Amino acid sequence: MASRKKRTAKISEEEQSRRQRFHFQAILLADNFTTKLLPLTLERPNVFLPLVNVPMIDYTLAWLESAGIEEVFVFCSTQVIDYLNNSGWYSHKDFTVKTIESPHESTSAGDALRYIYEQQIETSQIQDDFVLVSGGIVSNMPLTQLIQEHRDRKKKDDKAIMTMVIKQSLVTDHELFIGVNPLTKQLLYYDEDKICLDTSLMDRNPSVLLCSDMQDCYIDICSLEVLSLFVDNFDYQQLRCDFVEGVLADDIMGYKIFTHEISSCYAARIENFRSYDMVSKDIIQRRTFPYVPDMKFSGNRPLKLGRQGSYRASDAIRSPSVHVGDSSVIGHATTIGSGAKILNSVIGNGCSIGSNVVIQGSYIWNNVTVEDGCEIRNAVVCDAVKVSAGAILQAGVVLSFKVVVGRDFVVPAYSKVSLLQQPMEEDSDEEHLLSSVDLQMESKLGPDGAGYIWQVCDEEWKHSVAPIPKDKLAEIIDDDDTEDESVVIPSGNANSINNDVNDLYDFEIEVDGTFLRAVEENIVADLAVLEINSLRLSYNMESAHCAGAIFYSMMKLAADTPHSSAIDLYKNAASIITRWKGLLGFYVKQSDKQIEVISRLEEMCQESAQELGPLFAHIIRFMYEEENDILQEVAILRWADEKAGADESDKVYLKQCEPFITWLKETSDDEDD
């Protein structure tokens, strides 16, 4: 026993010595290397943009600290350095933040890493493997074990220079195709555009797992060789399309990249306004715990969690007639006038919201003034903006800092507005743009307005906080429904398919919440369609799944509405179907979608055989009636034919419908005659 204790002590000393030699270190690229958040990033670094009223960089640093990182090097501009100097990050125990000022000529991640390597030669600050993250990362995943796994792999194979974190994709704004070795998890193929496999890849690897449902988290565990490779290859500018694809294509050096898939943790990168919207919603819905509005981290001021997932600061002032819907956030020292409606939106600190204002699906930052009678839907409004009385911001609008919208002016959908004129393609010098701001410019935003409306591309809707337009969504749905399955390359791993039981369960919960909000706020069916279609794309579901989920929510609401008899329950169901037939009807235009609704009703009747079961045939007939026209004759008869071959125990509701089905067939025969 004595010798065993002595051996344990020796191992502990070795572990302690190893930890003293090698810190857990990280490099955070906190500079602007993207144009997808323009015009905002012309005036403020992207890591400063508030995410549910907290700067993005604070989420990233708080996560790195809690994940076990001991030292982080922040590559950033002087603006970020000034912020960190005035923050409390330098005083944290066992977590050291050091800054590397970005030189003016650094315009890409490749330039940044080459500059860091030059500094590394002089200082040798980065001692061993490190975590490489980009600005705008929100995560709660642990890192120390993953770093150790990377180090252990490197000991066995000195060519293993990077481990890339990936996860099953829920929300993406571009396609990603990757191929991995299913046993070793080595990355074999990576393309953000299309699949174009070289036959030699299959020849060299007997087994390749192809995935089209993965999201790159832009969290990498890197060996020091990664920095030197950027120095050796000056054409490497971007981390993925240049470095990763370059390493995979290089057969001479033989360096390897491995993947690590996360499932129970959260990780996401904000790179455009749509991902900004989705990550904000994830924070509000507490998927990023403990980095949520009611928890204190990185010096933020926690908010009070209220009913229906809304958050409100204790010093926010609002009139009793104000309606704040669920999944909304009201910041500190903000005042809201009478009759205002705040729905599914984030309001920053120090804002003044007038009377009878409607704000829906929007992000209002700090010290914003919105005067009486304004309407703001699915927009981003930056600090110190003034929206004059009666003005309307249509879907997808982005108002940059200190913009003024004139009285009763309507800002067109997807407009980007800034006090800075839009730069020419050949002029991207941000300092020149900032020095040329003219506050006495000719108004572009109505009487007393101030700001320039930038020209945007035709596909701005793809990257907006606004739901995908109905016409664009219809095109996508038509493409999906008619696409030849032979050209779709699904993931080869059953555990990584989006359309599995867990995703379907989560999807139906989201649809149910969206439907109940639509009922509560009396939203028109078209707007509800847009929200549910966004969920459909996010979860990679089909129209039939939407139809089944919506109908389930409708029947669930009918059952939850007070009733004392079967007749009352039927009336509840009929009333809800009548009110929301436009929503359900959007998804049941084809007979197979209608059969999904019938099957879903059958399942619910089996679960509630005594209460809902006797109403099956009545509800089917009600949805068939001409004034509703949700179910068509062909769908009902197809369902009956399919059920005819089932076991007797599975024909309960078919028998209940026999008189109605017989009538349908006779009517059909009469029409044929």
Quick one: pLDDT at residue 436? 40
pLDDT mean across residues, the chain: 81
Greatest Cα pair distance, the chain, in angstroms, is 99
Q: What is the pLDDT of residues 32-53, one digit of tens each?
A: 677 788 888 888 888 889 999 9
Let me know: does 522 contact 572? Beta carbons within 8 Å. no
Task: Say which residue, 44 or 485, is predicted with more confidence.
Answer: 44
Is the pTM for the entire model greater than 0.75? Answer: no
Range from 271-280, 309-318, 523-532 that averages highest in pLDDT = 271-280
Residue 253 has pLDDT above 80, yes or no: yes
Query: Can you tell me the distance from the alpha carbon of 371 to that of 357, in angstroms, rounded to the nearest whole number?
Result: 8
DSSP states of 88-151 as a string?
Answer: SGGG-TT-EEEEEEPPTT--SHHHHHHHHHHHHHHH----S-EEEEETTEEE----HHHHHHHH
Question: In degrees rounded to 5, what are phi and psi of residue 177?
Answer: -120, 125
Residue 136 has pLDDT above 50, yes or no: yes
Let me know: does 620 contact 637? Beta carbons within 8 Å. no
Quick one: pLDDT at residue 439? 38
Residue 507 tokens, joined: 């999807």
Range from 190-199, 278-287, 307-316, 386-395 that averages highest in pLDDT = 386-395
- Tabulate helix, strand, coil % of the chain (nearest 5): 40, 20, 40
Confidence of residue 286 (pLDDT cuts 50, 70, 90): confident
Total Cβ atoms within 10 A of residue 453: 16
Q: Average pLDDT of 60-65?
A: 92
Residue 380 tokens, joined: 């981003």
Residue 632 tokens, joined: 């068509």
CA distances from 156 to 149, 159, 161, 632 (A): 11, 9, 12, 64
Residue 8 has pLDDT above 50, yes or no: no
Confidence of residue 74 (pLDDT cuts 50, 70, 90): very high
Let me know: does 316 contact 332? Beta carbons within 8 Å. yes
Quick one: pLDDT at residue 169? 67
Let me know: does 562 contact 520? Beta carbons within 8 Å. no
**Burial environment of residue 335 by CB neighbours within 10 A (0 to 12, 13 to 18, 19 or more):** middle
Confidence of residue 590 (pLDDT cuts 50, 70, 90): confident
Q: Average pLDDT of 637-653?
A: 79
Q: What is the pLDDT of residues 98-124, one digit of tens each?
A: 988 888 777 888 888 888 888 876 666
Query: Can you tell me the distance from the alpha carbon of 383 to that of 398, in angstroms, rounded to the nearest whole number?
Result: 12
Task: Say which residue, 496 or 468, is predicted with more confidence.
Answer: 468
Quick one: pLDDT at residue 38? 86
Quick one: pLDDT at residue 314? 86
Confidence of residue 11 (pLDDT cuts 50, 70, 90): very low
Confidence of residue 316 (pLDDT cuts 50, 70, 90): confident
Quick one: pLDDT at residue 604? 85
Question: In degrees rounded to 5, what are phi and psi of residue 610?
Answer: -80, -40
Percent with pLDDT over 90 in the chain:
22
Quick one: pLDDT at residue 319? 81
Query: Can you tell me the distance from the alpha carbon of 38 to that of 231, in angstroms, rounded to the nearest whole number?
Result: 29
Picking from 28, 221, 63, 223, the residue whose alpha carbon sits closest to that of residue 142 is 63
Quick one: pLDDT at residue 126? 81
Q: At 343, which helix (H) or strand (E)? A: strand 341-343
Query: Can you tell me the distance from the alpha carbon of 284 to that of 310, in angstroms, rounded to the nearest whole number?
Result: 8
